[in-house]
Structure 1
Amino acid sequence: MRVAATDARVPVAPVELVLRSTRVVTPEGVRPASVTVADGRIEAVLPYETDLPYGTGPTPGPAYGTGAVVEDLGDDVLLPGLVDTHVHINDPGRAEWEGFATATRAAAAGGITTLVDMPLNSLPPTTTLEHLRTKQGVARDKAHVDLGFWGGALPGNLADLRPLHDAGVFGFKAFLSPSGVEEFPSLGPGDLEAVAARIAALDGLLIVHAEDPGHLLRAPQPEGPRYSGFLASRPRAAENEAIARLISVARRLGTRVHILHLSSSDALPMIAAAKADGVRVTVETCPHFLTLTAEEVPDGATEFKCCPPIREAANRDALWAALADGTIDCVVSDHSPCTTDLKVPDFGRAWGGISSLQLGLPAVWTEARRRGHTLHDIARWMSGGPAALAGLDDKGAIEAGRHADFAVLAPDETFTVDPAALHHRNHVTAYAGKTLHGVVRAAWLRGRRITGHGGPTEPTGLLLERQRST
């Protein structure tokens, strides 16, 4: 049955774009639909068979205008643009590791339309208002996707938290163990209490790298090429102890706490119990923890090194179960790149970080489809969940009123990862040579195509600030 366009809501601005697909991922499920875009926002999600009087149909209507572009995607899947709230861009100061132009190009090529940048590995770190302004100045005019910023919580910068909060950072990152860079020290127990209390007073968000330093000191120290030695140096107990401490702080102080890059499945029962008790705690995991296993890491292959580490296959299975039942809230990349020379074949000396920004969607989809999950699940984990974490109410779903941010995926097509074809600055990745399902065809940001037909376009991303409550 063909549905008349007059059944749809009359737009407040002329429709500029119509995307049609037999598989559109909406909050209600996957269905055929025609998605109309006006003034950078989704104007309506209509039945696929709707007559479209937008210049290509038989009866153009003045309310819609006659210049709209209508693109039929066939059976390719239209997803909400992904939101990645855990990315280390390292610019300025370590731009040879990664920069705003290269990171955001890689994001666009991977179907990601919004990033939130971590406060460390850049010089200066985003720990004062002045440093935030420096970073924003460097990023402006280089972003191919929309871009926001986390602030940093360090020993001694309590007075900086409110100015950063008022300037629109999305929350504050802290480490409970050494961060790996001297300009971003970790919080001791007293510092954690003070920071959590201050953030609670702001009704802000504390996001934490949760590994206990005592357990790390007592563990065998990593050296040499064997991955088993590195895995033993980052025991599950270090994560478990740190997460228990964070849950206790959130419970007592009412602070909203988010646990970064969960690796240890042992921590899942306490997280689930805390959520059931109403503690304000959320948790993320990452593509590498869901798709890679300790058993497959070759000796000397430090492209697989990250902290906390990739664990065993049984641990991976438990993380997938926690995603399915909602204990884990979202999946984000923790893209932490470095120059090639820092990935020496010694797990004690190599930089710890996995570059996966462009590959997260196909990597997760490859494993998800094998386990019986759907593209609706992918949208919830990699778009809606991260958008909710950061309070990005305009992002994260294909529904009327949201930003017209889209990714187009051919979910049944495969490709073999060629590091040289990636857009991030240094072509080192743990996924090299892997065959993945899901080819990203194109992406749109606020109704404008930002990739497809040969690669990213000119930068059109905006710098984002946290949405204030009214």
Structure 2
Amino acid sequence: MDERWVKNGLVFTEEGFREVNIRVIDERIDSLVKNEGEPWKEESDKMIDASGCLVVPGFIDAHVHFNDPGRTDWEGIETGSRAAAIGGTTTIFDMPLNCAPSVTNFKSLQDKRQYLTTMSHVDYALWGGMTDTNIKNRHELSQMSEGIIGWKAFMSESGIDDFQFVSPDGLKQAMKAAKKHRKILALHAEWDEEINKLTALYKNRAGMNERKAFLASRPVSAEEKAVSYALELAAKFGTALHFVHISSAKVVGLIEQAKKSGVDVTVETCPHYLIFDEKDFLKKGAILKCAPPLRAREEVEGLWDCIQRGWIDTIGSDHSPCLYSMKATDSIWDAWGGIQGVQFTWLALLDEALKRGINLGEILPLGTSKVAERFGIANRKGQIRPGLDADLVLIRLDESTVADKQSLAFRNAYSPYENREFLLRVKKTILRGKVIYDDQSGVFEEKLGVCL
């Protein structure tokens, strides 16, 4: 029996923050014991002193692109999971595109699962991809469904040649397949026809600032149309739907109405839509290019209002890295769209919430229990309670973190969060009872992550 303790911390539980000690037996939480004696101070690999720390569940990031195998010069699961661990994330769900080949058939899924074994610092699950091509292959989808956390599809061009978007007619088939295999269908929801029309209109318009033209080519209305169409189909077919990286409070409102009408739907937003706005993009350019693009400050504030109303279900980083040369291009249209942020997701969000006077108890579930519940892993992850994996993060609110270039753990050391100061600090990240990161020693070299 392997027994470990985390003592003296303020622990986030189902009842809120409590002064309890956490007993861990063989990787799982055994019990929460009220701290009644003298604070215990001796530190060892079996006994962790969390004095002065908040102890929260390990964060679950359901939306990363670690590009492994095939594009490890962009990132790779080793560096991506290292950055995740530093930021307090203990579980990631890796998307089926940006690796090469994309995970759109059973062989590519099996190859990826085998390839990633022993390479990750954190636990992980894999998304499977639905495209206009593979939705016709029922046997292939049936084989894949057993080994994935859910399906991912695009309603507009993905930017990856071997990952086709699903047409409006194809989406009907994708909805039916996801329902049949009892898996969530996650959608990148922008209406392709509208984007193409507006891109053609603005791309070469004389005298128009390129960055403003890019923003104009992907308006909120393109999200609104795609989400509305998908919600109609989900209601018709009974599909469990999850919208990723929604950037507009208006669109969140549409999804909330559908929830109330009985549609099985959840919504994710990302830290960059809660921190940055279109003025930041106009100033900094490609390093903040993403799709959907950053919105007006009114939308940022609207999303925070949605969080406080309980309308946002999950937060995902949408960590989408690339070579710096792919950002440092002459034209914003040619630059890769994606944000490098998994290391700073929860530092940024908790920092922003504290500055806004928002109770952390409102924010933490968006990256822990709500993610676990939605994706069917609540029997293992997402909370600090007996029987679950001892995935824990120790955070101090009286210390700060500066995102200087030397601290960036990504394969390519750049990020829009660079040089920002966060008024909190991750002290330790614990995966299934073992410390995988502390702020003095860094990330431990032993890679303990397993595929869920």
Match of 2:400 among 406, 414, 421: 414
CA drift at 1:236: 0.3
CA distance in 1, matches of 2:45, 2:115: 35
- Report the 3-state secondary structure (helix = DSSP H, G, I; strand = E; otherwise coil) of the residue aligned with 1:412: coil
Amino acid of the structure 2 residue aligned with 1:231: L
CA distance in 2, matches of 1:347, 1:87: 23
Root-mean-square deviation (CA), in Å?
2.0
- Does the alignment pair 1:385 with 2:364? no
Q: Pick which of 21-30 and 74-83 moved more.
A: 21-30
- Report the 3-state secondary structure (helix = DSSP H, G, I; strand = E; otherwise coil) of the residue aligned with 2:144: helix
Q: Which residue of 2 aligns with 1:347?
A: 332
Q: Which residue of 1 aligns with 2:361?
A: 376
Match of 2:344 among 335, 340, 359: 359
The number of aligned residues is 440
Q: Which residue of 2 aligns with 1:107?
A: 84
Alpha carbons of 1:229 and 1:405: their partners in 2 closer, same or farther (altered >3 Å)?
A: same
Q: Which residue of 2 aligns with 1:198?
A: 177
Deviations 1:305-326 (A, max 9, x none): 0000111111011111111222
Amino acid of the structure 2 residue aligned with 1:165: S
- Report the 3-state secondary structure (helix = DSSP H, G, I; strand = E; otherwise coil) of the residue aligned with 2:32: strand
CA distance in 2, matches of 1:225, 1:140: 46
Q: Which residue of 2 aligns with 1:262?
A: 246
CA drift at 1:427: 1.2
Q: Which residue of 2 aligns with 1:189?
A: 168
- Does the alignment pair 1:137 with 2:122? no
CA drift at 1:385: 1.9
Structure 2 gaps of 5+ residues are: none
CA distance in 2, matches of 1:195, 1:401: 36
Q: Which residue of 2 aligns with 1:451?
A: 437
- Does the alignment pair 1:74 with 2:54? no
- Does the alignment pair 1:121 with 2:108? no
Asked whether the 8 Å contact 1:307–1:352 carries over to 2, the reply is yes
CA distance in 1, matches of 2:38, 2:30: 16
- Report the 3-state secondary structure (helix = DSSP H, G, I; strand = E; otherwise coil) of the residue aligned with 2:422: strand
- Report the 3-state secondary structure (helix = DSSP H, G, I; strand = E; otherwise coil) of the residue aligned with 1:17: strand
Asked whether the 8 Å contact 1:114–1:145 carries over to 2, the reply is yes
Deviations 1:315-369 (A, max 9, x none): 0111111112221101110000000100025321110000001001111011111
CA distance in 2, matches of 1:440, 1:32: 19
Asked whether the 8 Å contact 1:17–1:36 carries over to 2, the reply is yes
CA drift at 1:391: 1.2
- Report the 3-state secondary structure (helix = DSSP H, G, I; strand = E; otherwise coil) of the residue aligned with 2:319: coil
Match of 1:92 among 66, 69, 83: 69
Q: Which residue of 1 aligns with 2:322?
A: 338
Identity of aligned residues (%): 34
CA drift at 1:419: 2.7
Q: Which residue of 2 aligns with 1:163?
A: 143
Q: Which residue of 2 aligns with 1:429?
A: 415
Asked whether the 8 Å contact 1:150–1:173 carries over to 2, the reply is yes
Asked whether the 8 Å contact 1:227–1:299 carries over to 2, the reply is no
Deviations 1:400-434 (A, max 9, x none): 11100011111232232113311111112111121
Amino acid of the structure 1 residue aligned with 2:260: A
Match of 2:152 among 173, 197, 206: 173
CA drift at 1:300: 5.1
CA distance in 2, matches of 1:332, 1:229: 27
Amino acid of the structure 2 residue aligned with 1:351: W
- Report the 3-state secondary structure (helix = DSSP H, G, I; strand = E; otherwise coil) of the residue aligned with 2:384: coil
Deviations 1:254-301 (A, max 9, x none): 000100100122212211111111101100000101111112334452
- Does the alignment pair 1:36 with 2:23? yes
CA distance in 2, matches of 1:404, 1:126: 30
CA distance in 2, matches of 1:145, 1:274: 34
CA distance in 1, matches of 2:127, 2:442: 28
- Does the alignment pair 1:289 with 2:273? yes
Amino acid of the structure 1 residue aligned with 2:141: L
TM-score (norm 2): 0.93
CA distance in 2, matches of 1:332, 1:441: 22
Q: Which residue of 1 aligns with 2:188?
A: 209
Amino acid of the structure 2 residue aligned with 1:33: V
Matches within 5 A, 1:225-304: 226-299=210-283, 301-304=285-288
Amino acid of the structure 1 residue aligned with 2:33: L
Alpha carbons of 1:416 and 1:222: their partners in 2 closer, same or farther (altered >3 Å)?
A: farther
Structure 1 gaps of 5+ residues are: 1-12, 57-66, 466-470
CA drift at 1:438: 1.8
CA distance in 1, matches of 2:10, 2:359: 12
Asked whether the 8 Å contact 1:141–1:459 carries over to 2, the reply is no
CA drift at 1:68: 8.2
CA distance in 2, matches of 1:320, 1:300: 23
CA drift at 1:226: 4.6
Q: Which residue of 1 aligns with 2:10?
A: 23
Q: Pick which of 275-284 and 153-162 moved more.
A: 153-162
Asked whether the 8 Å contact 1:18–1:68 carries over to 2, the reply is no
Amino acid of the structure 2 residue aligned with 1:344: A
TM-score (norm 1): 0.90
Amino acid of the structure 2 residue aligned with 1:429: S
Alpha carbons of 1:74 and 1:225: their partners in 2 closer, same or farther (altered >3 Å)?
A: farther
Deviations 1:201-239 (A, max 9, x none): 111110000000111022244479753222111100000
CA distance in 2, matches of 1:279, 1:249: 10
Deviations 1:144-198 (A, max 9, x none): 00011000001121322111112x2011100000000111010011111011111
Asked whether the 8 Å contact 1:18–1:36 carries over to 2, the reply is yes
Match of 1:404 among 390, 401, 404: 390
Asked whether the 8 Å contact 2:408–2:414 carries over to 1, the reply is no
CA distance in 1, matches of 2:375, 2:251: 23
CA distance in 1, matches of 2:45, 2:296: 51
